[in-house]
Amino acid sequence: MDLQHSSWQTSSCGVAVIALGVLFVAIGWITGKLDAQGWTVAMMIFTAGIGLARARDNDKSSEDVGTKK
């Protein structure tokens, strides 16, 4: 992850969401209640966390981060 072009706020929220996803899976695994629906929810949590962790600052333009010339 390129921290120079990412937002620390969204990155930290993404990491927190991913950590909650890990906790969700761990609790489901320990209690034996992690079924197909639980795995679907876990994948949605991880996808949201990855999206947040990779988001960039709203004050950086595409030219600033090198995605548009």
- What's the confidence (pLDDT) of residue 35? 95
The answer as to whether 69 is a domain residue is no
- What's the confidence (pLDDT) of residue 60? 65
SS3 labels along 31-56: HCCCCHHHHHHHHHHHHHHHHHHHCE
The answer as to whether 19 is a domain residue is yes
With 0.95 as the threshold, say if the pTM is over it: no
- What's the confidence (pLDDT) of residue 17? 97
Q: Give the pLDDT means over successive 10-residue stretches in the chain (69 positions).
A: 64 94 97 95 96 76 67
Could you give the CA distance from residue 28 to residue 51 in angstroms, rounded to a whole number?
23
The answer as to whether 3 is a domain residue is no
The answer as to whether 64 is a domain residue is no
Could you give the CA distance from residue 45 to residue 51 in angstroms, rounded to a whole number?
10
The answer as to whether 24 is a domain residue is yes
Q: Considering only CA atoms, which of 55, 60, 21, 16 is closest in space to residue 38?
A: 21
Helix (H) or strand (E) holding 26: helix 8-31
Domain range for 12 is 8-57
The answer as to whether 43 is a domain residue is yes
Tokens, residue 25: 């899976």
Counted domains in the chain = 1
The answer as to whether 68 is a domain residue is no
